[in-house]
Chain A
Amino acid sequence: MSDQHLHHPIDLAPGDEEEVRVGPRLLGYCTGFGLAILLTATSFFIAGTNLVWQPSIPVALVVLAIAQMGVHLVFFVHITTDPDNTNNILALAFGLLIVFLVIAGSLWIMSNLDQNMPMPPLNQLMQMQR
């Protein structure tokens, strides 16, 4: 890439960094890698341990997963809060809104159906077909 693209003052392509020096960029990737390893190891440790209060484990796993996705976004995909990243952030926010609607909506509707319209036992279904 030519350097004028990297120094574009208004916008930055997703994945591009403002930093162009090699040293700080290497350090950024190493930091991200270290944090990601730490969070992954914690997730696997918590899932298999008896040391923590058991009902807290699912919440802890979800929180750790979201934290690790954040680490990946910041250190590997280079999504930041700088003004030159506004467009990328807005697209990401819209995507996350759709993801939330799809997952939460499916779970909500399907659990509602599950409670209010229970499936009759299989042999009863067979009789209804006759």
Chain B
Amino acid sequence: MTDAALARGHGDPYHLHGGRPHEGPASKRIVTGYGFWIFLLSDIVIFSCFFAAHAVLLRRTAGGPSGAELFDLRSVAAETGLLLLSSFTCGLAMIAADVRSLRWYQIGMAVTCLLGLGFLALEFREFSDLVGRGAGPTRSAFLSSFFTLVGCHGLHVSAGILWLLTMMAQVFAKGFRADIMRRLLCFALFWHVLDIIWVAIFSVVYLLGSAA
């Protein structure tokens, strides 16, 4: 057995890497992205707690209005379309950043920002409409859990838009440096995961809530 094979056997005794030699620690991009992925998964676990609370409190309307009487599905469909389109344009902006096209990157991010703001405007209109009809978060346990769950997602989108504007400014000021590209990777992950959580919200809270 040669020394090289012996060294390989020590570092990777079960040949997990297909018998290839070790290449040292993972790159900073992988470590950063993986850490942010763990954070996002814990964020999803937090949302699952709100989903569980909403599912448990679904029928506890305290004599107040239920979801079927309150939800305006056309507005929800518009919100869904805006968020889905913003996820798409965010992906396009990341491709533009990878090929170092500053103009298309800024255009893609600006469109993503506008779509996100449109989503927030629709959601704010829906919430103020509900509160105006006397169906605010204090009306019943069902509405408390509804406002907590959907409002928490809305807060995430608001934070995401602030982050988006920061990334536009950072790329404008500092260019596509390696550290800026890592932040962009994390931002794109965050934005796509928000859309995944919205899929669960519009399916479970709005569509199932109106059907039930």
Q: Which residues of A contact B (CB under 8 A)?
A: 1-2, 4-5, 8-16, 20, 22, 25-26, 29, 32-33, 36-37, 40, 43-44, 47-48, 57-58, 61-62, 64-65, 68-69, 72-73, 76-77, 83, 87-88, 91-92, 94-95, 98-99, 102-103, 105-107, 110
Residue contacts A-B, CB under 8 angstroms, 29 given: A1-B98, A1-B185, A2-B178, A10-B20, A13-B185, A16-B29, A22-B95, A29-B88, A29-B92, A40-B77, A40-B84, A44-B73, A44-B80, A58-B208, A64-B203, A65-B199, A65-B203, A68-B203, A72-B196, A76-B87, A77-B193, A77-B196, A91-B34, A95-B42, A95-B44, A95-B45, A102-B48, A106-B56, A107-B55
Across-interface contacts of B181 in A (CB, < 8 A):
1
- Give the residues in chain A near B91, CB-CB below 8 Å: 29, 32, 76
Min CB–CB distance A27 → chain B (angstroms): 11
Q: Which residues of B contact A (CB under 8 A)?
A: 17-18, 20, 23, 26-27, 29-30, 32-34, 36-38, 41-42, 44-45, 48-49, 51-53, 55-56, 73, 77, 80-81, 84-85, 87-88, 91-92, 95, 98-99, 178, 181-182, 185, 188-189, 192-193, 195-196, 199-200, 202-204, 207-208, 210-212
Task: Given contacts A1-B178, A13-B29, A16-B185, list 12 more A-B pairs with CB under 8 A.
Answer: A1-B29, A15-B185, A15-B192, A43-B207, A47-B207, A65-B204, A72-B192, A73-B196, A76-B87, A83-B18, A102-B48, A103-B52
Which residues on B sit within 8 Å (CB–CB) of A29? 88, 91-92, 95
Measured CB to CB, the nearest residue on chain A to B90 is: A76
* A36 and B200 within 8 A (CB): no
From A61, A72, A91, A110, contact of B211 by CB (8 A): A61
In terms of DSSP, what is the predominant structure of the interface of chain A? helix
